[in-house]
Structure 1
Amino acid sequence: MRRTARIAFVSLALACTGIAVTACQSDKDIDITKLGFETDPPETLYNQGLANMKAGNIAEASRKFDSIDRQHPFTEWGRKALVMSTFAKYRLGRNDDAVATGNRYLKQYPNSQDSAYVQYLVGLSYSKQIRDVTQDQRPANQTIEAMSKVVNDYPDSEYVEDAQAKIRFARDQLAGKEMQVGRYYLERKEYLAAIQRFRSVVERYPNTNQIEEALARLVETYYAMGIVEEAQTAAAVLGRNYPDSQWYADSFKLLQTGGLEPRENRGSWISRAGAKLIGA
């Protein structure tokens, strides 16, 4: 945009906000940048944003990139600014804003050279919102969805390996949430509800860091209900896959108190699910 055109744009914008243009021309103390407008060319604003990023002034960099986005949408500079705006918001911890900006970029430029990176940033922004298993795990599901797009839509990108790591972490969290609820029911001797949660971990999250305890809790719960064949099967699957696990040692000891030992029933759902485990 030529300088005269930019001045005309700013003047019109100020007039629309109810501020007299003549006042701007006569009062040198008014800083129009405080009103959200920048008069520099987009390439200058972009370079200023990069300089602020390098200097650690992330908030100021974000403001520069947002100015380009507002004043020069659907241009090449506007496209590049959207990428950097997503990154800056992520760095500032403004995760919801980063997701919104990143998704807008992906909608406008789905096949651009930076799409994989922006999708990865969206996933990171969700991942940063994951809390401990006592809290709502919606961000874990959102992380899995966003990072799965990185893996599936951009399989050759440099972000795939970390995206897969973030997916594993999010799945561990979801499994941990199921275990937390299952233990709650087990403590209250609501055995059927507890089994439902432990079964969910075994069937839906078999390759997570919660699987050993889930199998051990099934041994404990089925044994408490007197369904010893299922308790023996859970213990057998646990021992076959994780023979050195303390959870297996505890389960084996529990069965011994009733004169039992691990024994797998191949017709049990536990046996079928056990075929999907890491150690199977």
Structure 2
Amino acid sequence: MLRTKLSVVSTLFLAAGAVLIAGCASKPVDKTASMSPNKIYTEAKDELSAGAYDKAIPLLEKLEGRAAGTPLAQQAQLDKAYAHYKYQEPAQALATLDRFIKLHPASPALDYALYLKGIINFNDDLGLFSSITRQDLSERDQKAAKESFESFKELVTRFPESRYTPDARLRMSYIVNSLALYEVHVARYYYSRGAYLAAINRAQLALTDYQGAPALEEALFILVKSYEALDMPQLRDDSKRVLEKNFPQSEYLSQGFKSSSDPWWKLW
């Protein structure tokens, strides 16, 4: 009887040992454990260069912890944000950049962080399939476009001599034109539905907020037609005079609303 009990106990110990051994055997090996921070960074940069962003991200996370408080850790954060962006993970990229900007407000790489943040929101709003759907920025949700504009604006204001500022200015101009065109899209929609007061309000919003944008030509024409539809000749004539003064060669007055065609904004 005693032998039987000892046999059972021995079997249990052996089974427990086998589980422990199996557990140890299946535990993932940290290949960076014996690497220096510089070596980890070299490995991560190699993965980035090869387009293996999913492999670069964990390496950069290791480096960020291993080299905490050093310029190398800051660089790891920026590279990780870029890797997330290229790996189609914009939310993670933006979260990483927001953390970087908060923790390192005096970093010499702050201009790049702001630029990358603007680029991520800019591309996120354009959408992966914009070239297929032929849908431009002005026809979609404007939240990302406005956030992109704010990042670029902070960049050009705080770092006018930055290497990223010229491109940021171009993209800001594009965004302003697109936001204006968005308001005109909405105004045109209201006009086509006979909601003339709503059309006037949206057209006036475009004229007030986005001065100098090409879309304002149509905004003025929408005002002319809406006031005409509401039998308000004085306001119609005032709007027409402004249209003729600012766009003397306007085709709207002779041809009316333009038919859909390739968008004028296609810069990228």
For the criterion TM > 0.5, the same-fold answer is yes
Q: Could you say what secondary structure the match of 1:232 adopts?
A: helix
Q: Could you say what secondary structure the match of 2:138 adopts?
A: coil
Runs of 4+ in 1 over 6 A off after TM superposition: none
Separation in structure 2 between the aligned mates of residue 101 and residue 69 of structure 1, nearest angstrom:
12
Q: Which residue of 1 aligns with 2:145?
A: 140
Separation in structure 2 between the aligned mates of residue 204 and residue 76 of structure 1, nearest angstrom:
41
- Describe the shift of the 1:156–1:239 C-alpha distance in structure 2 as closer, same or farther (beyond 3 A): same
Q: 1:30 aligns with which of 27, 32, 43?
A: 27
Q: CA deviation at 1:77?
A: 2.0
The total of aligned residue pairs comes to: 228
Q: Deviations over 1:166-209 (max 9, x none)?
A: 21222222222212221222122221111000001111112223
- 126-135 or 138-147: bigger deviation: 126-135
| Within-5 A mapping of 1:31-110 | 31-33=28-30, 38-39=32-33, 40-110=35-105
Consecutive unaligned residues of structure 1, counting only runs of 5 or more, are: 1-22, 252-280
Q: CA deviation at 1:57?
A: 1.6
Q: 2:248 aligns with which of 243, 249, 253?
A: 243
TM-score, length-normalised on structure 2? 0.77
Q: Which residue of 2 aligns with 1:162?
A: 167
Separation in structure 2 between the aligned mates of residue 29 and residue 224 of structure 1, nearest angstrom:
76
Q: Which residue of 2 aligns with 1:178?
A: 183
Q: CA deviation at 1:222?
A: 0.9
Separation in structure 1 between the aligned mates of residue 58 and residue 142 of structure 2, nearest angstrom:
32
Separation in structure 2 between the aligned mates of residue 222 and residue 135 of structure 1, nearest angstrom:
28
- Describe the shift of the 1:24–1:53 C-alpha distance in structure 2 as closer, same or farther (beyond 3 A): farther
Amino acid at match of 1:92: Y
Q: 1:224 aligns with which of 197, 208, 229?
A: 229
Contact 1:137-1:173 within 8 A present in 2 as well: no
Q: CA deviation at 1:30?
A: 3.5
Contact 1:95-1:129 within 8 A present in 2 as well: yes
TM-score, length-normalised on structure 1? 0.74
Separation in structure 1 between the aligned mates of residue 171 and residue 63 of structure 2, nearest angstrom:
32
Separation in structure 1 between the aligned mates of residue 60 and residue 161 of structure 2, nearest angstrom:
28
Separation in structure 2 between the aligned mates of residue 209 and residue 63 of structure 1, nearest angstrom:
46
Q: CA deviation at 1:29?
A: 5.4
Contact 1:89-1:98 within 8 A present in 2 as well: yes
Q: 2:121 aligns with which of 123, 126, 137?
A: 126
Q: Could you say what secondary structure the match of 2:124 adopts?
A: coil
Q: Could you say what secondary structure the match of 2:88 adopts?
A: coil
Amino acid at match of 1:128: N
Q: CA deviation at 1:72?
A: 3.3
Separation in structure 1 between the aligned mates of residue 173 and residue 23 of structure 2, nearest angstrom:
61
Q: CA deviation at 1:25?
A: 11
Separation in structure 1 between the aligned mates of residue 197 and residue 188 of structure 2, nearest angstrom:
12
Q: Deviations over 1:214-271 (max 9, x none)?
A: 01111111111111222222222222222222124346xxxxxxxxxxxxxxxxxxxx
Consecutive unaligned residues of structure 2, counting only runs of 5 or more, are: 1-19, 127-136, 257-268
Contact 1:90-1:121 within 8 A present in 2 as well: no
- Describe the shift of the 1:66–1:188 C-alpha distance in structure 2 as closer, same or farther (beyond 3 A): same
Q: CA deviation at 1:210?
A: 1.1
Q: Could you say what secondary structure the match of 2:125 adopts?
A: coil
- State the structure with more CA Rg: 2
Q: CA deviation at 1:27?
A: 4.5
- 192-201 or 128-137: bigger deviation: 128-137
Separation in structure 2 between the aligned mates of residue 243 and residue 73 of structure 1, nearest angstrom:
61
Separation in structure 2 between the aligned mates of residue 99 and residue 243 of structure 1, nearest angstrom:
44
Q: Could you say what secondary structure the match of 2:211 adopts?
A: coil
Separation in structure 1 between the aligned mates of residue 151 and residue 66 of structure 2, nearest angstrom:
29
Separation in structure 2 between the aligned mates of residue 25 and residue 224 of structure 1, nearest angstrom:
81
